[in-house]
């Protein structure tokens, strides 16, 4: 297999996904080509059912494509074994989900450290302190998720994703469950990570205001990339979205 010589952290080639078979088959992705450059803040937009989540799952190695290849940091993941995938997740990928990011029985701090503890890696205390300051959790570190607000929970999730210094952080509607003020706080936090730490981030969102924090916005339609744009204002994004629906 040829090595790709770009500075892409994640590279998908002809990624296709078909659910089911025969008459009832659904083509969620129809051969998407996408490279995410190091230090890029990517937003994936598109109407409901256009394949955003499917694309993200496949790029993150959570799901396998029906056709095509995906490389994370130069390593092919579509043919990797479960153990290899586990190691790639540990070292290269961070996740932020819409719901259920934190384990309810652990404190915020324990949730934060969880990936490093799972991997048995040492914790960089200075980095951790810096992140705790950045996510602004202060005195709530020893609280359980149930005692935190939705925004606080998502900020812990962001902090957790950052703590391992992954090659890329994926977020599937990370602000989908939040009001506009807390949503802005979380997006600002991600922006901050990209700007100050050079973190690569890719988020799926349907909220134009959230997408306006990104450097690059791709619009999916019927399982393919309809438009690939640079930084946009939220009203411009809204216009594109209207055109797609």
Partner 1 sequence: MRHVIIRGFLSRKLRSSLTALAIVLGVSMIVGSSVLTGQIKGAFDGIFLESRKTTDVVLTQATRFKDNQGQATVPFAQDVLAKVQAVAGVQKAVGSVTSIAAVPIVITKGKPEPLKSAGGAPALGFSLKGAPFDTGTITAGRAPRQNGEVALEERTAAKKDVRVGAHLELATSSGVRPVTVVGLFHFAATVGGATTTIVTLADGQAWFDRTGKFDEIDVQAASGVSASELRDRIRAALPDMTVRTGVEQAKQESADVGSFVDVLGYALLAIGFASAFAGAFIIFITFWITVGQRIRELALLRTLGASRRQILASVLAEALLVGVISSAAGIVAGLGIAKAIAALFDALGFGLPVGAMHLSGGTVVVAFLIGTGVTLGASLAPALRSTRIPPVAAIRAGATLPPGWVSRHAKVLSVIVFTLGVGLVVFGIFGASGTSAILSSIGFGALVSLVGVALTAQLVIPRLARIIGAPGVWWGGIPGRIARENAERNPSRTAITSAALMIGIFMITFVAVFAAGLQKNISDVLGSDIKASFFVASGGVVGGGGASGFSPAVADELRVVPGVASVSPTTFIAAQIAGTTTDLVVSTAAPAFPDAYRLQWVSGSDALVRGLGRTDAIIDADSAKSDHLAVGSSLTIHNRAGVSATFTVRGIAKTSSLVQGLLISPEAAVPLQERSGVAFMFVVTKPGANEAAVRSGLESAAAKADPLLQVQSNQDVIDQATTQINQITIPLYALVAVIFLIAIVGIVNTLLLSVFERTREIGLLRAVGTTRRQVRRMVRYESVITSLIGAALGVLVGIGFGALIITRLGDIPFTVPVVQLALLFIIAFVAGVLAAILPAHRAARLNVLEALHYE
| Residues engaged in binding Mg ion (CB under 5 A) | 53
Q: How many CB atoms lie within 10 A of CB 91?
A: 16
E strand or H helix that includes residue 219: strand 216-221
Segment lying near partner 1 (by CB under 8 A), choices 114-122, 147-155, 184-192, 220-228: 114-122
Output 113 or 173, the one with its CB closest to ligand ADP: 173
Cβ proximity of 110 and 123 under 8 Å: no
| Geometric angle at alpha carbon 162, from 156 and 167, rounded to 5° | 150
Please give the residues from 43 up to 72 whose contact with partner 1 meets the rule CB under 8 A. Answer: 53, 57, 62-63
Residues 168-197: x where in contact with partner 1 by CB under 8 A, - otherwise, as a string: ----x-------------------------
Q: Does residue 83 interact with ligand ADP by CB under 6 A?
A: no
Query: Interacting stretch for ligand ADP, rule CB under 6 A, among 3-11, 48-56, 140-148, 232-240?
Result: 48-56
DSSP 178: S
Residue 215 lies near partner 1 (rule: CB under 8 A): no
The token pair at 107 is 């404190």
Q: What is the dihedral of CA 117, 119, 121, 126, to 10 degrees?
A: -60
Contacts with partner 1, 147-166, as mask; x by CB under 8 A: -------------x---x--
Q: What SS3 class is residue 55?
A: helix
Chain positions contacting ligand ADP, by CB under 6 A: 19-20, 26, 28, 46, 48-54
């Amino acid at each position: 297999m040829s090595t790709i010589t770009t500075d892409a952290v994640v590279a998908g080639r002809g990624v296709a996904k078909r659910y089911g078979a025969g008459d009832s088959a659904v083509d969620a992705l129809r051969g998407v080509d996408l490279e995410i450059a190091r230090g890029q803040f990517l937003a994936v937009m598109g109407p409901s059912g256009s394949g955003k989540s499917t694309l993200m799952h496949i790029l993150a190695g959570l799901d396998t494509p029906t056709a095509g290849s995906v490389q994370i940091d130069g390593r092919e993941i579509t043919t990797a074994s479960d153990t290899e995938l586990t190691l790639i997740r540990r070292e290269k990928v961070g996740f932020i989900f819409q719901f259920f990011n934190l384990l309810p029985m652990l404190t915020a701090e324990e949730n934060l450290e969880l990936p490093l503890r799972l991997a048995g890696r040492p914790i960089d205390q200075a980095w951790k302190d810096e992140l705790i300051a950045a996510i602004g959790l202060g005195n709530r570190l020893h609280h359980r998720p149930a005692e935190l607000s939705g925004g606080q929970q998502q900020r812990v999730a962001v902090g957790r994703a950052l703590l391992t210094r992954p090659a890329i952080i994926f977020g599937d509607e990370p602000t989908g469950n939040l009001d506009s003020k807390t949503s802005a706080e979380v997006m600002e936090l991600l922006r901050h990570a990209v700007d100050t730490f050079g973190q690569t981030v890719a988020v799926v969102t349907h909220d134009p205001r959230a997408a306006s924090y990104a450097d690059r916005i791709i619009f999916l339609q019927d399982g393919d990339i309809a438009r690939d744009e640079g930084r946009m204002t939220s009203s411009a994004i809204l216009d594109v979205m209207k055109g797609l629906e």
